[in-house]
Amino acid sequence: MNLMEHKEECSRCSQDENRVVYAALLGLGTVGTGVYRVLKNQEAEMTQKLGAQVVLKRILVRNLEKAAKKVEDPSVLTNCWEDIRDDEEISIVIEVMGGIEPAMTYIQESLQAGKHVVSANKDLIAVHGKELFETAEAHHTDFLFEAAVAGGIPIIRPLKQCLAGNHMAEVMGIVNGTTNFILTRMTQEGMEFADALKLASELGYAEADPSADIEGLDAGRKVAILASVAFNSRVVLDDVYIEGITKITSSDIRYAREMGCDIKLLGVARNTETGIEAYVSPMLIPSSHPLASVNDSYNAVFVQGDAVESAMFFGRGAGELPTASAVVGDVFDIVRNILANCCGRIGCTCYKQLPVKKMGEVCSRFFLRFQVEDRCGVLARMTSIFAKYDVSVVQIVQKESKKAGQAEVVVITSGVREDDMNRAVAELEKAEAVLAVSGILRVYGE
């Protein structure tokens, strides 16, 4: 068949060559500006790539005047949501405003109006994902969110499509750039947490209120989303145990390095026979692990499946253009769905209802440091307390302390139920010869 004959036969080829798909952008902050720029950069070849031109017909902003400086044609700006909701020509809504409300209402109303939605809003999806997917499914619309986890790094689509032939056993990684920057500075320059946080703020890696990052909340949202997609079972933010990095000291990091490990804030989701484990915690990880060399504000997600074995996805987890890269990838996918008339082709993939464990039921390895009195029988007393709570000690080292009459005991355990460990530590804290528990850290791995 030659090309002429083909063009006559093929419905897609015979479509209007000037076909336009209208989109609206909600928000013109960092990510919104990035989306605007990336769409501009793609203008020249969009029609060849997709079969249609994506045109930003409307941009919803709070301050019209401020926003006018950021766009070529300020007439696309509006501060009125109804201008977008009620415009039937607009078939794609790109939500990059963040936060729960009004984003939730705007997305729901968009989907109900038959518009497809791309969102980078992890806060919302980690809590209200189920409702959003249900609305999308009911209205045969697409709801895509590649940018909600790990910025520009492709991870949602690879999990839903490329790795769909796997039973995923684990998905974990470094999913917060701010804390990874701070830990990298503490590791490489011996800085203390407060100084590294200050530097992160100065360099623009930390927000004015950094608490969602440093307390682990941001990573927790991403763990909820990753676990839901990887294990085909809904995990919400409330299911995720969260511990931040505010208590990590440079001496913790020094101790870790003595043992051939680095300290990273890891988001971990594991699919075990007894339920899903999902948590965020600073952890020791062997320096030889690929994640240990993911430094500065880079993110990386490591997955393990029964077919693919291990795979890692590495890149920029935030930032104007990297995040926009993921958003625009989703927009283009929707355009392809619109042209092929198959919107809603891949919706919610949570078809299982697996239980999520409480943190107390999770099995972890621990690294512990104790200050003890330097006298006979202390180690025996400690090991008997560990044994009482089923804590199996892999390594126990007594070191000299700078203070006379004191010693430091460093303990590494094998996998222990968290509840048991907590009880053991509580009893150790009360034990006569134990002066202080100066460090408790989880260790990644079996």
Q: How far is the CB of 29 from a second copy (least distance, A)?
A: 17
> Under 8 Å CB-to-CB from 215, ≥6 apart: which residues?
242, 244, 246
Residues 61-100 touching a second copy, rule: CB under 8 A, are: none
Nearer residue to a second copy within complex by CB, 347 or 415: 347
Give the 3-state secondary structure of residue 206.
Answer: coil
C-alpha span between 182 and 282 (Å, rounded): 12
* Contact residue for a second copy among 341, 376, 400, 430 (CB under 8 A): 341
The stretch among 175-183, 330-338, 408-416, 426-434 that binds a second copy (CB under 8 A) is 330-338
Q: Helix (H) and strand (E) counts for the chain?
A: 16, 17
Nearer residue to a second copy within complex by CB, 20 or 348: 348
Give the 3-state secondary structure of residue 348.
Answer: coil
* Contact residue for a second copy among 87, 137, 374, 419 (CB under 8 A): 137
Q: How close are the terminal C-alpha atoms of the chain, in Å?
A: 59
Q: How far is the CB of 343 from a second copy (least distance, A)?
A: 9
* Contact residue for a second copy among 49, 358, 388, 403 (CB under 8 A): 49
Q: How far is the CB of 81 from a second copy (least distance, A)?
A: 23
- 77, β-bridge pairs: 59
> Under 8 Å CB-to-CB from 403, ≥6 apart: which residues?
none
The stretch among 38-46, 81-89, 186-194, 416-424 that binds a second copy (CB under 8 A) is 38-46
E-strand spans in 177-274?
241-242, 261-272
Nearer residue to a second copy within complex by CB, 315 or 439: 315
Instruction: Count CB atoms within 10 A of the CB of residue 286.
Output: 15
Nearer residue to a second copy within complex by CB, 166 or 414: 166
Site mask, a second copy, residues 255-274, x = CB under 8 A? --------------------
Shortest CA distance to 369 belongs to which of 429, 310, 420?
429
For 366, the enclosing helix (H) or strand (E) is strand 363-373
Task: Give burial (CB, 10 Å; 0-12/13-18/19+) of 307.
Answer: exposed
CB 286 within 8 A of CB 367: no
Nearer residue to a second copy within complex by CB, 102 or 344: 344
Asked if 220 is part of the footprint of a second copy (rule: CB under 8 A), the reply reads no
Nearer residue to a second copy within complex by CB, 140 or 417: 140
Q: Which residues are catalytic?
A: 222
Site mask, a second copy, residues 275-314, x = CB under 8 A? ---------------x--x-----------xxxxxxxxxx
Read off the amino acid at residue 422: N
What does the longest C-alpha to C-alpha distance in the chain come to? 93
Give the 3-state secondary structure of residue 78.
Answer: strand
The stretch among 57-65, 177-185, 252-260, 336-344 that binds a second copy (CB under 8 A) is 336-344
* Contact residue for a second copy among 19, 70, 140, 423 (CB under 8 A): 140
C-alpha span between 149 and 230 (Å, rounded): 13
Q: What is the DSSP letter of 362?
A: -
Asked if 319 is part of the footprint of a second copy (rule: CB under 8 A), the reply reads yes
Asked if 342 is part of the footprint of a second copy (rule: CB under 8 A), the reply reads yes
Read off the amino acid at residue 429: E
Site mask, a second copy, residues 148-167, x = CB under 8 A? ----xxx--xx--xxxxxxx
> Under 8 Å CB-to-CB from 259, ≥6 apart: which residues?
284, 367, 412
Nearer residue to a second copy within complex by CB, 262 or 408: 262
The rounded Cα 222 to chain-centroid distance in angstroms is 3
* Contact residue for a second copy among 178, 179, 325, 413 (CB under 8 A): 325
Q: What is the contact surface with a second copy in residues (CB under 8 A)?
A: 1, 6, 10, 12, 34, 38-39, 41-42, 45, 48-49, 137-138, 140, 146, 152-154, 157-158, 161-167, 232, 290, 293, 305-316, 319, 321-322, 324-329, 331-333, 336-337, 340-342, 344-346, 349, 351-352
